[in-house]
Amino acid sequence: MEKLIVVRGGGDVATGTIYTLHRSGFPVLVLETKCPTAIRRHVSFSEAVYDGASLVEGISCILADSLERALEIINDGHVAMMVDEDCRILERVRPWALIDGILAKKNLGTHRGMTPKTIALGPGFTAGMDVDLVIETMRGHDLGRIIEKGAALPNTGAPGDILGITGDRVIHAAHDGVLLNTVQIGEIVEEGQTLAIIRNDSGEFPVTATISGVLRGLIRSGFNVKKGLKIADIDPRLSERENCFTISDKARCIAGSVLTGLLYLESRDGK
């Protein structure tokens, strides 16, 4: 398939790139893990792993169980997804480009030999060595910067600042167990309110809101969480409720840089 692009990862930031590439006319195949942990589920194509399909801003991503089925989905005008975290599909197909959008803050196996063009999002990669280009993902003046030599800024471990709030707006699991949600993404929640329950052999443990605001993200109910896993995200700005259901400004900025980077590599290399 001419100019097929493989994207590793289908979380909310990667979804911005997938959406932009698809809208720009590129055939896109997304590779995901068996158990994606997207928080902003309503704007993450990775939910197709669980539901068979995911719809984000009018674009459908459909799960395929074979390369043949994936190509049918793409030919029908959709984004295709396969469960293939080790990129074994590359043994059968040579894509035009590969984008690493896992955002694991480390390289999980992507290298320049995989495809003629490789781009990685965020820290963990060195442009010119691991991949052709790296896209800066840290909010600020350099967000979306295209790096041809070197690496993105290192991960600080701290969420972006919103109204002076950073770490308190993100909630991590305090226990291992099965997460059972009691609220939905987009709801207005109050500090101390129970958002979910983690159930394990020792009992049930409430997950409470750390601040008041809009529940921007919440991992899917029934997921088997591990202690320390990020499971929820609250935005203190009540006016941002509708934005829970659309691709973020950050993801769109990064997506534009990926598209620019691909066109640059095509121009530079003549193919």
Q: Strand 28-32 to strand 5-8: parallel, antiparallel, or no bridges (unpaired)?
A: parallel
Beta strands in the chain (DSSP E): 5-8, 28-32, 53-56, 59-63, 79-83, 97-100, 118-121, 133-135, 146-147, 170-172, 177-181, 188-189, 194-200, 203-208, 213-218, 224-225, 230-235
Contact 56, 45 (CB under 8 A): yes
Across the chain, what does the average pLDDT equal? 95
Residues 130, 258, single domain; the answer is yes
For residue 167, what pLDDT is reported?
65
What is the reported pLDDT for 265? 97
Looking at per-residue confidence, does 139 or 158 come out higher?
139
pLDDT (mean) for 2-19 = 97
Asked whether residue 161 is assigned to any structural domain, the reply reads no
Asked if residue 117 and residue 59 are part of one domain, the reply reads yes
CA-CA distances (angstroms) from residue 147 to 120, 127, 132?
Answer: 10, 6, 9
Domain-located, residue 242: no
- CATH code of the domain containing 226: 2.40.50.100
Are 25 and 117 found together in one domain? yes
- Same-domain check for residues 210 and 76: no
Q: How many domains does the chain have?
A: 2
Asked whether residue 132 falls in the same domain as residue 64, the answer is yes
**120 by DSSP, 3-state: which?**
strand
Please identify which residue in the block is written with the tokens 């994606």: 36
pLDDT of res. 166: 65
Write the Ramachandran bin of 24: left for phi over 0, alpha for psi from -120 to 50, otherwise beta: alpha
- Same domain assignment for residues 11 and 137: yes
Range of the domain at 211: 167-236
Q: Are 82 and 191 found together in one domain?
A: no
Residues 11 and 142 in one domain: yes
187 & 103 share domain: no
Q: What is the pLDDT of residues 116-141, one digit of tens each?
A: 999 999 999 999 999 999 999 999 99
Residues 140 and 254 occupy one common structural domain: yes
Spatial CA neighbour of 137 closest among 3, 33, 258, 244: 258
CB 259 within 8 A of CB 126: no
Asked if residues 107 and 97 have their Cβ atoms less than 8 Å apart, the reply is no
Q: What is the mean pLDDT of residues 72-93?
A: 97
Residues 58 and 190 in one domain: no
Kindly state whether residue 162 falls inside one of the protein's structural domains. no
Cα–Cα distance, 205 to 153 (Å, whole number) = 36
> Residue 153: pLDDT band by 50, 70, 90 thresholds?
very high
Q: Which of 103, 250, 99 is nearest to 162 (CA)?
A: 250
Residue 160 lies in a domain: no
How far is the C-alpha of 116 from the C-alpha of 118, rounded, in Å?
7
Statement: residue 164 has pLDDT above 90:
no
Same domain, residue pair 87 and 215:
no
Supply the CATH number for residue 132's domain. 3.40.50
Checking if the pLDDT of 83 tops 80, the result is yes
Residue 208 lies in a domain: yes
